[in-house]
Amino acid sequence: KAGVTQTPRYLIKTRGQQVTLSCSPISGHRSVSWYQQTPGQGLQFLFEYFSETQRNKGNFPGRFSGRQFSNSRSEMNVSTLELGDSALYLCASSFEDRDEQYFGPGTRLTVT
């Protein structure tokens, strides 16, 4: 079974731009969660989707949004990028929303 895939793996953007990151979960998994990891704040929960519905959202500004498609693939979008958005963005999938999670390799975003 293929693991969780994330694209792109690396991304460089300029302040003020927007970015879309993609996550393909393990086949059959219906829950996708997104996390941000920075050296200063560590890992922080962004949001969780289950069967196309956002179940939960972390404490992030409205510039961070996401969605899940009917095939469980998920995208997250960050608009009006700030330098502080530079981070490793990880997604994780699970069969149900409270099951063990399987993490993707992450997308490393650098904002200049």
Partner 1 sequence: KNEVEQSPQNLTAQEGEFITINCSYSVGISALHWLQQHPGGGIVSLFMLSSGKKKHGRLIATINIQEKHSSLHITASHPRDSAVYICAVRLNNNDMRFGAGTRLTVKP
Q: Which residues bind partner 1 (CB under 8 A)?
A: 33, 35, 37, 42-45, 48, 55-56, 58, 88, 90, 92, 97-103, 105-106, 108
14/62 with CB nearer partner 1: 62
CB 78 within 8 A of CB 110: no
CB of 2 to partner 1, least distance (A): 15
What lies within 8 Å, CB to CB, of 55 at 6+ separation is: 31, 48, 49, 97
- Return the number of the residue (72 or 93) whose C-beta is nearest partner 1: 93
Closest CA to 109 of 93, 91, 92, 94: 91
C-beta of 56: minimal distance to partner 1 in Å?
Answer: 5
Judged by CB, which is closer to partner 1: 14, or 39? Answer: 39
Q: Nearest distance from residue 104's CB to partner 1, in Å? A: 9
Q: Give the count of beta carbons closer than 10 Å to the beta carbon of residue 71.
A: 10
CA–CA distance, 39 with 48 (Å, rounded to integer): 22
